[in-house]
Chain A
Amino acid sequence: MATIDQTTRQTTGPTTGQTTEVGGPPAQGTPGHDPHATSTGVTNTKLAIWLFLSSDCLFFGAFIASYLLYRGRDVSGPGPRELFDIPFTSATSFILLMSSLTMVLALAAIQRGDHRRVRIWILATALLGATFIGGQVFEFTEFSREGLHVSTNLFGSSFYLLTGFHGAHVTIGIIWLLSLWGMSTRGRLPTKKAESVEIAGLYWHFVDVVWIVIFTVIYLIPQPR
């Protein structure tokens, strides 16, 4: 049986005889190491973000399902056939896809300790995201000019709600990234905090993945006649 030295809080294994420090400081040279070891072998923060993303699937699933439910059931007002500009939306989709690349390059940079490149890639991600939001705002403005508002018809309410919530997620992501960029410029984002960038990256990639689904289901799949 393992013995415990109460004065030093060290344990000695029964078979190995090795001494292990209990609740000691994190191991040196292990970036992102959580000093509070968990029973799952993963950090609580990372597990929590994955649980959140898992629940967010249900959140967006509800709005996508609502859109599919109301599709083709409008009796008045403009519809997707008259309004959608597929080439324009394709360009904004491409921009969001590229922002996922810059985000993952930022993570790779902080893992190898290249902080200058971290700032460059994080800022690039935020700027690409802002460009995407700009495209969304332009699209919403054009649709509004054509007479489509939230209360115009079923298409209007379901479309604006779904893409609006997605846009809100992207905006929150941009603010998150800019705060990380600010922390990095002040030297408060060392390599051992790489997990902070990873978690922001997971959120950003999820937002991109949701847009992949939205773009296909709403814009590309043919509308009922």
Chain B
Amino acid sequence: MSEGTLQRVEGDVAVAARGELGHALEPAPGLLPGEERPHPSPFKYVVIAVALCIVTAIEIGTSYLQGDIPNGLLIFLLLAMALLKFVGVAGWYMHLQTDKPIFRRFFILGCIAAVILYTIVLATLSVFAA
């Protein structure tokens, strides 16, 4: 079989495969490309916003407890609340909860890479030393 014929056959197989699999790559009815489940309703968005405001208020109030509680505990609480808000916005407002996992994987990879990299950098420069 000549090379030209081989290439034509490969192209035809690729087109046929695309034709067979094309429907599997299309979103289900009522969903946008990239969605696995429908996005939250506007009411749910408002509920999430209220929750974020409450957590923010608690976070700000907690910051005023400096001196009354150990610094380590204070920092832990503040970072935990920040993480909660981060997950709330990323999960629901950025639709990571309802979209295909590939987006979640890329974003979490970037976040984890940043945290690990800069923790190593700061540790190397003795920022965490007592």
Q: A4-B15, A58-B110, A65-B118 are in contact. Are A222 and B33 (CB under 8 A)?
A: no
- Chain B 98-121 per-residue mask, 1 if CB under 8 angstroms from chain A, else 0: 001011001101110111011001
Q: Is A83 an interface residue (CB 8 A)?
A: no
Dominant SS among interface residues on chain A? helix
Residues of A within 8 A of B45 (CB): 101, 104-105, 108
| Bound CA span A30–B71, Å | 53
B interface residues, how many (CB within 8 angstroms): 63
Q: How far is the CB of B126 from chain A (nearest CB, A)?
A: 10
Q: Give the interface size class of chain A.
A: 35 or more
| Bound CA span A22–B32, Å | 21
Q: Is A76 an interface residue (CB 8 A)?
A: no
Residues of A within 8 A of B25 (CB): 37-39, 41
- Chain B 63-94 per-residue mask, 1 if CB under 8 angstroms from chain A, else 0: 10010000100110011011001100110011
Q: Are A220 and B94 in contact (CB under 8 A)?
A: no
- Please give 13 more A-B residue pairs, beta carbons under 8 A apart, in addition to A54-B109, A205-B89: A3-B16, A4-B15, A11-B15, A46-B33, A50-B107, A65-B118, A100-B89, A104-B45, A108-B42, A108-B45, A205-B90, A217-B82, A221-B75
